[in-house]
Amino acid sequence: MNPETIDLPGAKVSLFDDQAAVARATAETIMDAARAAIARAGQFRLCLAGGTTPTAAYERLAGADADWGRWWIYFGDERCVAADDPARNSLAAERAWLGQVPVPRSQVMAIPAEAGAEAGARAYESTVRAALPFDLVLLGMGEDGHTASLFPGRKVPEDRLVMPVHAAPKPPPDRVSLTPAALTDSRQVLILVTGGGKADALTEWRNGAALPVAEVAAAASSTVFADNAAVGSIAG
Ligand SMILES: O=C1O[C@H](COP(=O)(O)O)[C@@H](O)[C@H](O)[C@H]1O
């Protein structure tokens, strides 16, 4: 049974029974956005979330029938480790989904984070500038309320679309992240929140804390897909 509801400032919230239901709805939302973008503009520009939360949705997309030749894939953040390191967000998406569908390789725009945070961010800036506005930005939320690699209390350069991140509180310490200016320049922003470990951050968000995820959500037309485990103890 779903909890009653939860209000999150700046976002429309949809609640689901479990992570599998969130994954199903996420894959459907992405497919709907793709069809609409392709009908409107002949291509679909999707910016992906990293971490573990979106993996089940990516696995569902691996079995979908889509006009893959018209999809362009971007990443909201990346960890500065070797290109074949399992910690890479791009590799996780590749294994769960992208490696199994005929999206042209030239249209999967990985962040060159193996070059280091500064060089990777500099190189990806022009890629993102040319892509905006995105059709859909998919985001997750960390247990501390971070999203992409935007961590609480960190300064964000106002003149950049992509920024280097050092000393991240969650390993690895060096990362590259799109800034809120880039993540919110999208027709839709969909934020996935699953699992009991996210309940404290959701409570802070509901109470108006200035978390990165809350700031990004409020600056865009955002929807949150959450499951019972994330919301259960704080609903009502
Ligand atoms: O480090 C990261 O964390 C967040 C949340 O990850 P999750 O494993 O709790 O889903 C993720 O959204 C971000 O892209 C990632 O680099």
CB 190, CB 204: distance < 8 Å: no
CB 121, CB 163: distance < 8 Å: yes
Is the Cβ atom of 222 under 6 angstroms away from ligand 1?
no
Residue 21 lies in a domain: yes
Rounded Cα distance between 168 and 175, Å, is 8
How would residue 111 be classed by pLDDT, with cut points 50, 70 and 90? very high
Considering its fold, how many domains does the chain have in total? 1
Residue 231 lies in a domain: no
Residue 4 lies in a domain: no
Name the DSSP letter for residue 50. Answer: -
Is the Cβ atom of 170 under 6 angstroms away from ligand 1?
yes
- Domain range for 164 is 11-221
Residue 17 lies in a domain: yes
Residue 77 Cα to ligand 1 midpoint, Å, equals 9
Angle at 164 between CA 161 and CA 167, to 5 degrees: 145
Name the DSSP letter for residue 4. Answer: S
Atom in ligand 1 nearest the alpha carbon of residue 49: 14
The answer to whether the predicted template modeling score (pTM) of the entire model surpasses 0.95 is: yes
Is the Cβ atom of 50 under 6 angstroms away from ligand 1?
yes
Mean pLDDT of the chain, nearest integer: 96
Which residues on adjacent β-strands are paired with residue 178?
162
CATH number for the domain spanning 23: value is 3.40.50.1360
Q: How many CA atoms lie within 13 A of 85 on its CB side?
A: 13
Residue 228 lies in a domain: no
pLDDT above 70: residue 2: no
